[in-house]
């Protein structure tokens, strides 16, 4: 049994991770400032003796006694991370420094929720961990992309300079229940629009691709990564390598919801990556890990979650 801190624990991924770690018999401290997280995501855990909730902003230092830290605090949807870009980069950078400072003091192991965005608009396909990326350092997405890149840098510098045990996971697009209704990311947007019979907003021509991982698969991968030997830092890609165009996703969701919604085309946001698909050979070999939930099954579960909420 370990004492585990999850920063961003009331968010979409964080709340599923709280559930998984409590099921496994650990004590969990969920830290969140509720910027994009929601108490409803963790309400069922309040009162559980293995669960504690701390309202805190990770840009400020925190003193706790823990064995492991999953550093997930950061808005993940482009709409939310661009709302206050200075705060976004402070969250990634100051959050990493505060998390690593805590880890150094109490000798805890840290897992950093990094992102496929460190590859930017990639020139190689699929993206392998060796690829250094093609990120615009001054665009609308930079607060997120460069913040996450700086956080990776800090992880490795604390590891080399101070011997902190770190694990870097590059998470590719993940979806599932507990994404918020106004999250703004594509899967929740399309499902909510379809369930309301409202226009499905495809940005650009919809020919850009993404690969969508169901949340349960991703959480299993995060836990496996945390449990790898101390000298394995990653970075490692986690995501589902089955790739779709955004237009294909829109059509799939319309069909599965039985919606009368129509597809409409809206301008493509700046620096929107053209294609994205993880190479997960490293995770398959090392953990081993392989996503198991098909897009049909995952969307079905996500649609069932949203149906009573819209």
Residues at the interface with ligand NAD (CB under 6 A):
7-8, 10-14, 32-37, 57-59, 72-76, 91, 113, 115, 171, 173-174
Residue 144 among the catalytic residues: yes
How big is the chain by its Cα radius of gyration, in Å?
Answer: 19
Enter the tokens of residue 176. 């599932």
**How many whole angstroms separate alpha carbon 30 and alpha carbon 51?**
7
Other Cβ atoms within 10 Å of 66 Cβ, number? 19
User: Is residue 177 helix, strand or coil?
Assistant: coil
Nearer to ligand UDP, 17 or 202 (CB): 202
**How many whole angstroms separate alpha carbon 38 and alpha carbon 12?**
9
Nearer to ligand UDP, 26 or 80 (CB): 80
Burial class (CB in 10 A: 0-12, 13-18, 19+), 97: middle
Nearer to ligand NAD, 97 or 199 (CB): 97
Eight-state DSSP code of residue 274: S
Nearer to ligand NAD, 166 or 261 (CB): 166
Q: Which residues of the chain form contacts with ligand UDP (CB under 6 A)?
A: 77-78, 173, 185-186, 189, 201-203, 208, 210, 246, 269, 272
Instruction: Please report how close the Cβ of residue 246 comes to ligand NAD at its closest, in angstroms.
Output: 15
Eight-state DSSP code of residue 269: P
Look at residue 85 and give the partner it binds from ligand UDP, ligand NAD, none, a contact being a CB closer than 5 to 8 Å depending on partner kind.
Answer: none
Nearer to ligand UDP, 136 or 228 (CB): 136
Burial class (CB in 10 A: 0-12, 13-18, 19+), 89: buried
| Peptide bond between residue 235 and the one before it cis (omega within 30 degrees of 0) | yes
Other Cβ atoms within 10 Å of 40 Cβ, number? 12
**How many whole angstroms separate alpha carbon 271 and alpha carbon 223?**
32
Q: Which residues contact 207 (CB under 8 A, 6 or more apart)?
A: 245, 246, 247
Enter the tokens of residue 101. 């400072």
Look at residue 27 and give the partner it binds from ligand NAD, ligand UDP, none, a contact being a CB closer than 5 to 8 Å depending on partner kind.
Answer: none
Catalytic pick among 81, 144, 158, 175: 144
Beta bridge partners of 168: 112
Which amino acids are annotated catalytic?
A: 144
């Amino acid at each position: 049994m370990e004492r585990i801190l999850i920063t961003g624990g009331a968010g979409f991924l964080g709340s599923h991770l709280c559930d998984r770690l409590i099921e496994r018999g650990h004590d969990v401290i969920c830290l969140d400032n509720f910027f994009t997280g929601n108490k409803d995501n963790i309400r069922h855990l309040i009162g559980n003796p293995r669960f504690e909730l701390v309202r805190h902003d990770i840009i400020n230092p925190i003193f706790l006694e823990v064995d492991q830290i999953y550093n997930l605090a950061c808005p993940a949807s482009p709409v939310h991370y661009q709302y206050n870009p200075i705060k976004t980069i402070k969250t990634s950078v100051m959050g990493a420094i505060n998390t690593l400072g805590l880890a150094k003091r109490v000798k805890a192991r840290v897992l950093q929720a990094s992102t496929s965005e460190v590859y930017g608009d990639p020139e190689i396909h699929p993206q392998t961990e060796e690829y250094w990326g093609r990120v615009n350092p001054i665009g609308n997405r930079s607060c997120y992309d460069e913040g996450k890149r700086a956080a990776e840098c800090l992880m490795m510098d604390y590891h080399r300079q101070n011997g902190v045990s770190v694990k870097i996971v590059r998470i590719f697009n993940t979806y599932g229940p507990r994404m918020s209704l106004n999250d703004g990311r594509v899967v929740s947007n399309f499902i909510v629009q379809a369930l309301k019979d409202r226009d499905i907003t495809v940005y650009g021509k919809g020919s850009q691709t993404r690969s969508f991982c169901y949340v349960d698969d991703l959480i299993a991968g995060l836990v496996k990564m945390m449990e790898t030997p101390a000298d394995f830092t990653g970075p490692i890609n986690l995501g589902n390598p089955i790739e779709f165009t955004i237009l294909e996703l829109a059509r799939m969701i319309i069909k599965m919801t039985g919606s009368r919604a129509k597809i409409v085309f809206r301008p493509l946001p700046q620096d929107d990556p053209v294609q994205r698909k993880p190479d997960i050979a490293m995770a398959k070999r090392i953990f081993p890990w392989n996503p198991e939930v098909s897009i049909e099954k995952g969307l079905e579960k996500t649609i069932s979650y949203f149906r009573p909420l819209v």
